[in-house]
Structures are given as structure tokens and as C-alpha cells.
Structure 1
Amino acid sequence: MFDLRPIPVPDLSGRRVFVTGAGRGIGAALVRVLVDRGARVVAGVHDQVETLPAGAEVVPLDVTDNGSVQAAVARLRETLGGLDVLVNNAGLISTIGPLTELSADELRPAFEVNAIGLHRVTMACLPLLEESRGLILNAGTGAATKAMEGWTAYCTSKAAARMLTLMQDLELSPRGVHARFVGIPPTDTAMQAEIREAGLNPISKIPQTDLVRTEVPASVLAWLAAAENRTREEVLLDVRDELFKGMMQAA
């Protein structure tokens, strides 16, 4: 279904990057690519499932907890001395189910991670990003603009994250900080396992063998983290954009 391959990532020597949701899936794949290309990386993990490279500084991180975020950013400042790129990758799809069976409280976890947590981490990192005239990369999804059966919590919270990105770029770019929302197609992660188990919409019917490998969105995020790509004009991007497809075909 998705004929996508990793794109070439330029040398990232000296780039200081903070990745949230780095314990598994796309986040872990991104940390591996960044370290391989020479970046200095702090990996914020809530539940570490995958092994991360020795070159990454791993810190515990719960984006829903202000104390946890502040402690992680303090470690980041101590370890890296500054920050060039923040990748808000932490995400949550729960609770999956029909809208009519979803309580107000069941909406809360997705918003706490996907929107409020994103804002919390960004604001904690903002002084460092202003110092470096840095970049915010927010992991996105087509579900931010397309309603999907059973995904009320996910679609609405990711739509909020999309608008947060637009607001970030609008209000922070005059201060030298740019923001990007990067749409990611269905990728072979633990989240997709939850989706298949629920079986509520067409995405749940995609065979695992047809899902995108985590290395593909990881390579796009890593490419965007390069200094020369910091000031691209597009705020809303997608891994399937012609720009990236051209790189995949040329690789």
C-alpha cells in the first residue's frame, strides 16, 4: 500500500536534539538515525521497550507531568548545553471506541499527551530554542484532518496538535523559532497493533506487512533536523509529500 523508503539523512554533527516518546517505535528509530548521523541526542522515554544507542542520553519523561518535564529539560541543559531541535513525538491513541460510548473523562488521556503534553514540553524547552533559533518538529497524522470511526480521542487531540503547530510557528517565528507538523502514514508500531485489535475502521484492516517501516518517518524527521532545512517555509508537511518521495526514488 505504501511504497516508501528511508531518505538520505545529511551529516548532523553537533546538532542538539530532544526526542520525546523515544522508548519505542518511530521515536526509537529516530534516535538511532540521529546518533548515527552525528547528532547529540537526549531521548525522553516513558516506557523503554527498544534498545537505544549508547550515544544517546536517556532520561525518564512523562509529558503529562510538569515535574517530569522540568527534570528532563534540566538534564538536557546539563548534557547538551543547549537545544537546536525539539521533536514532540510522544503520542497516545487511547481511548478507541464509538463516540457514543466515550465519556468525557476518556477523552482526557489523548489530549493530555497529544496536545497539552506537546505544549508543556515545548514551553519548557522554549528558552533553549530561542537561544539557538531552533526548530520544533511535531509528529503528525492524517487523522488530524480526517475523521476516522472509533478515533474520536485521537483525531480531535491530533487536530489540536496541528493547530498548536500553526500557532507555534505564527507566534514564535518572529522570535527565531520555527515549527513543523509532519504527517506520518500508518507505520508498523505498537499503536498500530492497538488499532488492528480494535478493528473499527479501514486503517485497522491494513495488513502489518503493508505498514510503513519506522525508519521511513524517522529519516524524514532527521532530514528536517538538519541546520540547512530549519527555515523551510512549509509548516504542514507529510512523509508522502513529493519532496520526500523524490528523495526516496533517488536513493
Structure 2
Amino acid sequence: MDNGPYLLDMSKEFAGKRALVTGGTRGIGLAIVKRLHAAGAEVIAAARSLPDSLPEGAGFIQADVGLPEGVDHLVQETIQQLGGLDILINNVGGSSTSTAGALALTDEDWQTTFDANLFSSVRLDRGFLPYMVEQQSGVIVHISSIQRKLPGNMTMPYSAAKAALVNYSKNLATQFGPMGIRINTLAPGFTETESAERLIGRMAEQSGTDYHAARQLLMDQLGGIPLGRPAKPEEVAELAAFLASSRASYITGSEYVIDGGTIRTV
């Protein structure tokens, strides 16, 4: 009996596929690069700064995709190196604006956050979709956040940008589905990346507690995590790999939440 994609050799799942992961040198992005590369993909990681380490054989392009010229550079370099693209993981993003509340936020705060978390994806999609249309195949995964459903009081622009990203992604999937291109959104909750560990360390120092107490406090501020711990970057990467694979060949226009049960609404 032929079970199709369910009998894949996982070590060769992405053999022959060309992939780009933005924000691919640390945290969730690096975990995705490692997962795709281990399964045979030709992967390029993109980021503003040089990586400390990447899997042997993975490529790197230095680019700031929060800027239009950075996106143009990344698209041109990727096509030159790979000759096209099969998988685009729009992972870059984050928030560095004031946490003092809405009235402390400037137009520049809003614009910078939207450039990083929304317009970077819009511009990259616009750059690579023509190549995917030409080959009548391709996968795009937008990394969003549960904050689009659970807005953070201190990260208002970030939450709004991620909500807009999900709306945009849904519309894009409808437009390009007939051309064989699948587009989905992945929304992680609290993930224990290196940057999260540094944040927890600072919280522990400021409050005079230890790492585990500060970690628990952060989970409590989210309303608790039923599974009792943050996600690991590798767990988020596994879901991204699934969405990029032929195992998800009939999934498009969807949002997948990976948050340990943090969001309890239906």
C-alpha cells in the first residue's frame, strides 16, 4: 500500500529544496535552519549581523530586512546563489520600543516595529513570489506570535504588527493557492531562546530571585502555561518544518499556534 508522503525518509525530506530563513542566526530562526539543513535542504540564513555558528554547508547573507534596500539585496543575492526558492521562512521580528505605554510611543517606534514585523515579510514575499509563480510551487511560512491574540501591554506595536501579519498571510494564501503556493502562519508562545534566557536573568537580578523563580514569574504574567514550561526553539522549528514539507501539502491559509496551551479561548 502506498502511504505517499507519510513514508518519507526524514533525513532526506527536503533534499533538492532551496530555503531561506530570515533571522536565521539565533533562536527560533537558527533552529529552523538546522532542522531544514539536517533534512537535506540547501539553506541560507539571513540576518543583520554575522552568525556565531551555522551548520556546515549552510549559507549566510547579511541583510537588514527592516529596510527596503536590505530586502532588495537579500532577494538578489538569494536568487544569484540558489537560482530560485522553494521555501521562505519569514522569521525576523521582535520589539525594542519603549515599555512605558501607548503615550510614550512615537511614530518612529510604530514604523520601525511594523517594518521589522510586517513589511519585511510583505517585501520579501513580493520579491520571491514571482519565482514561485513561475515554477508553480513554493511554501511561505510567516512566524507570528500569540501576542496577536494576547496583546502585550508593553509591546503594543509588536502585537498590532503580528495581528496584521496574520491577516495579510491569509489573504495572500487565497490569492496564490491556485498557483501551487502554500502560505501559512506559525504563532509561538513564550519560547526559551538565548534572548529569553538573558531577559529572565535580568529579571532575576532586578528582583533578587533566582532564574527559575523569574522564569515562573514570566509564565505567570502570561496567565500561566498549562504544560508548565516555555517552548524549546527546536519544537517550534519542528512545526515550521512540517508546514514547509509535503506532509502539509493540503494546508494553506492557516495559523498554527504552539504555546503549551497559553491561549485558552476558542
User: Contact between 1:89 and 1:139, CA under 8 Å: does it hold in 2?
Assistant: yes
| The one of 117, 129, 134 aligned to 2:132 | 129
Equivalences for residues 160-179 of structure 1 within 5 A: 160-179=164-183
By how many angstroms is 1:234 displaced?
5.3
Number of residue equivalences? 232
Partner letter of residue 111 of structure 1? F
Question: Does residue 229 of the first structure (1) align with residue 248 of the second (2)?
Answer: yes
Computing the radius of gyration from Cα coordinates, the structure with the larger value is 2
Q: TM-score, normalised by structure 2?
A: 0.78
Q: Which runs of 4+ in 1 moved over 3 A?
A: 193-199
SS in 2 for 1:83: coil
Equivalences for residues 52-201 of structure 1 within 5 A: 52-97=54-99, 98-132=101-135, 133-192=137-196, 196=200
User: Contact between 2:98 and 2:104, CA under 8 Å: does it hold in 1?
Assistant: no
Question: Does residue 29 of the first structure (1) align with residue 31 of the second (2)?
Answer: yes
SS in 2 for 1:108: helix
Deviations 1:4-28 (A, max 9, x none): xxxx956211111111111211111
By how many angstroms is 1:136 displaced?
0.8
Partners of 1:39 and 1:171 lie apart in 2 by: 27
Q: TM-score, normalised by structure 1?
A: 0.82
User: Contact between 1:9 and 1:219, CA under 8 Å: does it hold in 2?
Assistant: no
Partners of 1:104 and 1:203 lie apart in 2 by: 34
Partners of 1:90 and 1:173 lie apart in 2 by: 24
Partner letter of residue 239 of structure 2? V
Name structure 1 gaps, 5 residues minimum.
1-7, 243-251
SS in 2 for 1:210: coil
SS in 2 for 1:43: strand
By how many angstroms is 1:211 displaced?
2.4
Partners of 2:197 and 2:50 lie apart in 1 by: 17
Partners of 1:17 and 1:72 lie apart in 2 by: 13
Partners of 2:48 and 2:102 lie apart in 1 by: 28
- Higher mean C-alpha displacement, 139-148 vs 168-177: 168-177
- Higher mean C-alpha displacement, 130-139 vs 40-49: 40-49
Structure with the greater relative contact order (CA < 8 A, sep ≥ 6): 1 or 2?
Answer: 1
By how many angstroms is 1:70 displaced?
2.1
User: Contact between 1:34 and 1:222, CA under 8 Å: does it hold in 2?
Assistant: yes
By how many angstroms is 1:30 displaced?
0.8
Deviations 1:142-189 (A, max 9, x none): 101222211101101111111111111122223322210111121112
By how many angstroms is 1:85 displaced?
1.1
- Higher mean C-alpha displacement, 169-178 vs 104-113: 169-178
User: Contact between 2:138 and 2:182, CA under 8 Å: does it hold in 1?
Assistant: yes
Question: Does residue 212 of the first structure (1) align with residue 216 of the second (2)?
Answer: no
Name structure 2 gaps, 5 residues minimum.
1-8, 207-214, 221-227, 262-266
Cα gap change, 1:35 to 1:139, in 2 (>3 Å): same
Partners of 2:52 and 2:145 lie apart in 1 by: 23
By how many angstroms is 1:193 displaced?
5.2
User: Contact between 2:23 and 2:29, CA under 8 Å: does it hold in 1?
Assistant: yes
